[in-house]
Amino acid sequence: MSTQNTHPPKPEAPRLPLGIPSCQRRHTLPASEFRCLTPEDAVSAFEIEREAFISVLGVCPLYLDEIRHFLTLCPELSLGWFEEGCLVAFIIGSLWDKERLTQESLTMHKPGGHIAHLHVLAVHCAFRQQGRGPILLWRYLHHLGSQPAVRRAVLMCEDVLVPFYERFGFHAVGPCAVTVGSLTFTELHCSLQGHAFLRRNSGC
């Protein structure tokens, strides 16, 4: 809330919502930034993911060692959204080389593959219900589209999330062969050719 004063107001330091760890901020650090993740971002990513998934599914799509694994092998297939230097949302992917996902695809990166497997999209609890997930996914798909070797994006999700991903050009191809405990999923594919024309339908 702002108030008027007869004296020039003193600039206030930017404040993040409660629950976001304090980050050291240089005067040159942008307030909002999108960039690929590095292994140094693994702990922050896992903390966001654990809070987002454990309470709902009881499991995480990726655990800390797996996050580090993918961010070491293929950081260019990740994208993070940072506010004041702090990670608030992210996507992590890897390359896959088969037509459909298999149990092996959960932990493997296939450098010769032409399919980007999206392992996880997560948003910090303090930044949810603000439209950040759709914006991040849209940017990520365009990021993938700039990589000539990547021709398609694939993911697996619960049935309730299928309509969300369909807004971005994904289409369901049937039940996924991958299971996690008792959980089952639908597999979705998205061609990256001509993806820019989908924006009018994405809600972004």
Taking only the tens place, the pLDDT of each residue in 73-124 is 999 999 999 999 999 999 999 999 999 999 999 999 999 999 999 999 999 9
Provide mean pLDDT across the span 28-42: 88
Q: What is the pLDDT of residue 54?
A: 84
Distance (Å, rounded) from C-alpha 170 to C-alpha 148? 19
More confident residue, 167 or 18: 167
What CATH topology corresponds to 32-191? Aminopeptidase (3.40.630)
**Which pLDDT tens digit goes with each residue over 154-197?**
999 999 999 999 999 999 999 999 998 889 999 999 999 765 44
Q: Mean of the per-residue pLDDT values for the chain? A: 85
Model confidence at 202: pLDDT above 50:
no
